[in-house]
Amino acid sequence: MKPVSTFDSKKMRVREEIQALDAYRVVESEGLIKLDAMENPYSWPKSMQDEWLEHLRGLPLNRYPDPNGQRLKQTLRDKFDIGHEMEILLGNGSDELIQIVQMCMSTSGSVMLSPSPSFVMYEMAAKFVGAKFIGVPLESDFSVDLSAMRAAIKRYDPAAIFLAYPNNPTGNLFDRAAVDEIVRTSRGLVVVDEAYHIFANSSYYDQLGLHDNLVVMRTLSKLGLAGLRLGFLVGPKTWLSEFEKVRMPYNIGVLTQATAEFALQRLDVFEQQAAQIVAERERLFTVLANTTDITPYPSQTNFILFRSDRLPATELFDRLIEQGVLIKNCHQSDPALEQCLRVSIGTEGDNNAFLAALEKCLA
């Protein structure tokens, strides 16, 4: 038997704020209907899968990938109408881009700010880089509290503000006039995170270049390519050339670049799937709105946040797992989400299974 280590963790040269954190936890989903992670539930058509496999044949895996992803960037420009006056930065998912931005913007005493509740990685990345994070509570209907945002911007003069548009985990699209004022009011960078743009029909791309402190971030994850881990940041060269300095070389691999280029040439497939998801979202919302003891919140994403009005959220979460359905328990993540859960939009069959399980749990 190996001797038990007597190493004193207090002697570890790890920042105390990192030691105090919990690692990001993903619930085991094997054997369950997985409706917890806002994934596209639809697979590729068989013919498209065959074409893709042929496309990958012969890729030089013994060589490093294009360090700048130039062909992929051009494909993104073509498919999302990104003008050449704007630069593109590629990241290993939006998470890496958030961290890159905060690494560049973080100095002693710097503040990162976001409405709250919002995407958890804004706060986590701030802690990773040693910055202070300020979450400004949303209104009770999850709209932006503009007066509170103005006061926080004036008080903290944040280096960067992150606005999820639409917001995760609440699902709503912030009022555009409120976002406009935040951009105008802030002296720091404003990152508009459009991870769910394909479901929302609203974007800030048309504002790029009109405000020198605005950049827009997107990901291909919600589109249907979560396994690729590809995000991209669009904005003025003044900003992106600085962020480029701290991007790790070769951060986007050969397989990711080739697969993303292939998939984006068939964007219509994913747009059709997104339309199916939106239709199912509306159907699911209507059923939930008519379910006793459940209060759903309007969504412009591929998920629905809802409150459990009778059963404690954690108990309902556990009961759903017993019924073979995994959703997200948001109850303890923020005071505003007390007794709330979030369900991703699945296929019609997945959604029906969730509704049937919910009915049993509430009986």
At the topology level of CATH, where does 9-37+268-362 sit? Aspartate Aminotransferase, domain 1 (3.90.1150)
Give, in order, the Cα–Cα distances in Å from 94 to each of 9, 83, 226, 274, 325: 32, 21, 11, 20, 27
Q: What is the pLDDT of residue 23?
A: 76
138 vs 121: CA distance, rounded Å: 17
> Which residues in the chain are classed under CATH 3.90.1150.10?
9-37+268-362
Q: What is the pLDDT of residue 222?
A: 95
Segments in the chain forming alpha helices (H): 16-19, 46-56, 70-80, 93-105, 120-129, 146-156, 176-185, 197-200, 237-244, 254-264, 267-289, 313-322, 348-362
> Which residues in the chain are classed under CATH 3.40.640.10?
62-265
Residues in the chain, total: 363
How many Cβ atoms from other residues are within 10 Å of residue 130's Cβ? 15
270 vs 221: CA distance, rounded Å: 11
Q: Report which residue type is found at 72.
A: L
CB 331 within 8 A of CB 313: yes
Q: What is the pLDDT of residue 29?
A: 74
For 88, phi then psi, to 5°, come to -125, 135
Q: Does domain 62-265 have CATH number 3.40.640.10?
A: yes
Q: Mean pLDDT, consecutive 10-residue segments, the chain of 363 residues?
A: 64 77 76 95 96 95 96 97 96 97 92 98 95 97 98 98 98 97 97 97 94 97 96 97 96 97 97 98 98 98 98 98 97 96 98 98 95
